[in-house]
């Protein structure tokens, strides 16, 4: 346990090396998230993302530079949306929901893998090693990205999941006013509404995952 405490206190991003490590962790989290959106859509019959080269682990195919900066500085952010055409799906509403869920689920799985690797390397390399800091940062950022995207406000993934649960009439209304969701989201973020709830969710999931892999 003391290894993890040392590691947490070692996460000081004052040096260029540590900033580069954080940037690498951000790119991994965003790339996995968006690639899994594309994979889910393709598996469900939509080739749109594949045709636009989004079925790729190359970060350059997914980066939105403002979203990348926000994720590095504020702990939440976004990448370029994966293009999805619901008309390719046999069941458009459920297809959109499954495609949307693939992103956050992939982030939670990535966090579990990073923490499992951290459990192995902590006793070997110690808490101050750059690799262990990278793994911890990947886990924390990935959980944060997954939780943030589950908020049921457009254009976040949670809104697509919510849409699948709504009757057709309400679903059409949600799509009609989807473009206003980003304004609502920014307003909530600026005034800090829900911040404590989201932080609590991230901490709880992080604690659960640490227990699952045996870090505690």
DSSP state of 154: T
Assigned token pair, 52: 């636009």
DSSP string, 62-131: T--HHHHHHHHHHS----PPPP--GGGSSSHHHHHHHHHHHHHHHHHHHHHHHHHHHHHHHHHH-TT-HH
Contacts of 166 (CB under 8 A, 6+ apart): 174
First to last CA, the chain: 6
Active site residues: 34
Instruction: Report the C-alpha dihedral over residues 67, 105, 133, 73, rounded to 10 degrees.
Output: 20
- Evaluate whether 146 touches 105 at the Cβ level (below 8 Å): yes
């Amino acid at each position: 346990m003391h290894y993890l405490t040392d590691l947490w206190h070692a996460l000081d991003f004052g040096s260029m090396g540590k900033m580069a490590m954080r940037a690498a962790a951000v790119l991994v989290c965003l790339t996995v998230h968006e690639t899994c959106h594309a994979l889910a859509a393709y598996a469900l019959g939509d080739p749109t993302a594949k045709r636009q080269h989004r079925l790729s682990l190359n970060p350059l195919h997914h980066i939105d530079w403002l979203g990348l900066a926000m994720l590095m500085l504020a702990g939440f952010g976004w990448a370029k949306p994966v293009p999805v055409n619901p008309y390719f799906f046999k069941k458009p509403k459920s297809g959109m929901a499954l495609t949307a869920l693939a992103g956050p689920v992939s982030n939670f799985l990535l966090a579990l893998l990073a923490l499992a690797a951290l459990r192995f390397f902590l006793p070997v390399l110690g808490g101050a090693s750059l690799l262990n800091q990278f793994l911890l940062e990947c886990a924390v950022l990935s959980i944060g990205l997954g939780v943030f995207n589950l908020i049921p406000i457009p254009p976040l993934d949670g809104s697509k999941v919510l849409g699948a649960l709504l009757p057709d009439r309400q679903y059409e209304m949600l799509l009609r006013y989807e473009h206003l969701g980003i304004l609502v989201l920014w307003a909530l973020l600026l005034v800090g509404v829900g911040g404590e709830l989201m932080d609590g969710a991230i901490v709880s999931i992080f604690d659960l995952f640490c227990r699952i892999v045996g870090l505690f």
